[in-house]
């Protein structure tokens, strides 16, 4: 059988099993654990009935066994079920030479057993002989990480498959807040679906902001990272979510001021230094120098000076200077982020 891949192919595997087309080996590998869990959980819940699992189901862990143990378990015949099911979790911890034994089993497998190998966070070598032998008689699925621009589509499809819908902007907001962790995204989608009332079918941006945003601990450095990278969409989304809560603006301004002040030092003195020398000059650890170096591709020296001026302005406003009555810190934060992300600078004074 041809190698399968990610979302559509995970669904194909599940559909085949439902249709009674059960293969003797399922080799599930790749960097994205979500689809590996999706397929392995389905096989675990549908090959052997719960009341027969004590007799015909085994779970092994790659860090505790060798392939010889796996083959010994899978050589047994079922006692109460149509198949004997053996699931190997954390198979990425098996030695590479252990997988070579899989080639021998694939050539002479137990027709009354199903072997599921879950190798998360690791892509196996498709050139290996065992890989090709498994493809001939079983299923190989490579589970790839999604690109950031694919995550909103995953969210929309996940919600629609459960009979609900989500606005495109809400899907983008959820993607920005949670990131590309598909297992966590699925959990947050389930929360949003459960929060729908009565005949409601559409998940809105307000729901995402209220349910996901309020339950997610906000990290000021996450917002700073988005601003440093000039990721306008992410910065605006995070600012919007934070603005919905009671935000203390002065400490947040202090974090931003420290970063841009250091960035000005980097512009003036450190652009031609190695990381260790720049770190000494700026009074930071060498690990953080890269972020400043990357930020110099997004901001020039003139823009950095303007941003520092913006931060001083909003530090004063957060203390009640020169603002309209009733203006909240959340509104000030959104204004501040907008101005920083859109400030212009033609010349570099450094």
- 21 CB burial (10 A radius; 0-12, 13-18, 19+): exposed
> What's the whole-number mean pLDDT along residues 156-182?
89
- The model's pLDDT over 15-52, given as tens digits with 9 standing for 90+, comes to 999 999 999 999 999 999 999 999 999 999 999 999 99
Where does the pLDDT of residue 13 fall: very low under 50, low under 70, confident under 90, or very high at 90 and above?
very high
148 pLDDT band (50/70/90 cuts)?
A: confident
Per domain, the residue ranges of the chain are: 4-142, 148-216, 244-341
CA distance 327 to 325: 6
Eight-state DSSP code of residue 47 = S
Question: Coil, strand, or helix at residue 124?
Answer: coil
Could you name the CATH architecture of 244-341?
Up-down Bundle (1.20)
Average confidence (pLDDT) over 87-105: 91
- Mean pLDDT across 265-290: 88
Supply the angle between the helices 67-74 and 96-107 in degrees, to the nearest 10.
30
Q: Closest by alpha carbon to 252, among 339, 343, 174, 337?
A: 337
Q: What is the pLDDT of residues 279-306, one digit of tens each?
A: 888 888 888 899 999 999 999 989 999 9
Give the residue, 166 or 222, on which the prediction is more confident: 166
Query: Which CATH topology does 148-216 take?
Result: Helicase, Ruva Protein; domain 3 (1.10.8)
Calculate the alpha carbon distances from 66 to 28, 63, 87, 96 in Å: 18, 8, 13, 11
How far apart, in whole angstroms, are the C-alpha atoms of residue 254 and residue 304? 15
pTM of the model: 0.69
Place of tokens 């509104």: 331
Ramachandran assignment for 198, one of left (phi > 0), alpha (psi -120 to 50 degrees), beta (any other): left
Domain 4-142 listed as CATH 3.30.70.60: no
Mean per-residue pLDDT, 336-341: 93
């Amino acid at each position: 059988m041809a190698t399968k891949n990610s979302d559509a192919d995970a669904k194909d595997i599940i559909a085949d099993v439902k249709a009674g087309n059960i293969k003797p080996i399922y080799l599930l590998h790749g960097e994205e654990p979500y689809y590996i869990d999706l397929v392995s959980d389905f096989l675990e819940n549908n090959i052997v009935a719960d009341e027969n699992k004590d007799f015909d189901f085994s779970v092994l862990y790659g860090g505790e066994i060798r392939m010889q143990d796996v083959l010994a378990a899978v050589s047994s015949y079922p006692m109460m079920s149509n198949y004997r099911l053996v699931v190997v979790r954390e198979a990425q911890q098996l030695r590479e030479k252990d997988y070579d034994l899989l080639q021998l089993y694939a050539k002479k497998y137990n027709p009354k057993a199903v072997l599921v190998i879950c190798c998360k966070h690791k892509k196996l070598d498709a050139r290996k002989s065992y890989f090709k032998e498994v493809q001939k008689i079983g299923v190989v699925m490579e589970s790839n990480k999604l690109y950031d621009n694919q995550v909103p589509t995953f969210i929309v499809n996940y919600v629609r498959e459960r009979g609900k819908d989500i606005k495109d902007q809400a899907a983008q907001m959820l993607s920005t807040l949670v990131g590309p962790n598909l297992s966590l995204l699925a959990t947050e989608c389930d929360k949003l679906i459960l929060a729908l009332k009565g005949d409601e079918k559409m998940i809105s941006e307000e729901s995402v902001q209220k349910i996901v945003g309020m339950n997610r601990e906000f990290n000021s450095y996450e917002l700073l990272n988005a601003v440093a990278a000039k990721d306008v969409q992410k910065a605006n989304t995070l600012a919007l979510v934070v603005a919905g809560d009671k935000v203390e603006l002065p400490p947040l301004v202090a974090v931003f001021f420290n970063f841009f002040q250091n960035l000005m030092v980097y512009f003036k003195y450190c652009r031609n230094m190695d990381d260790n020398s720049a770190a000494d000059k700026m009074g930071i650890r060498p690990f953080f120098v890269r972020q400043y170096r990357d930020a110099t591709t997004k901001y020039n020296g003139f823009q950095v000076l303007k941003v520092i001026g913006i931060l001083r302005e909003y530090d004063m406003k957060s203390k009640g200077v020169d603002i309209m009555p009733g203006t909240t810190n959340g509104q000030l934060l959104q204004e501040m982020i907008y101005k920083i992300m859109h400030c212009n600078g033609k010349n570099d004074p450094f």
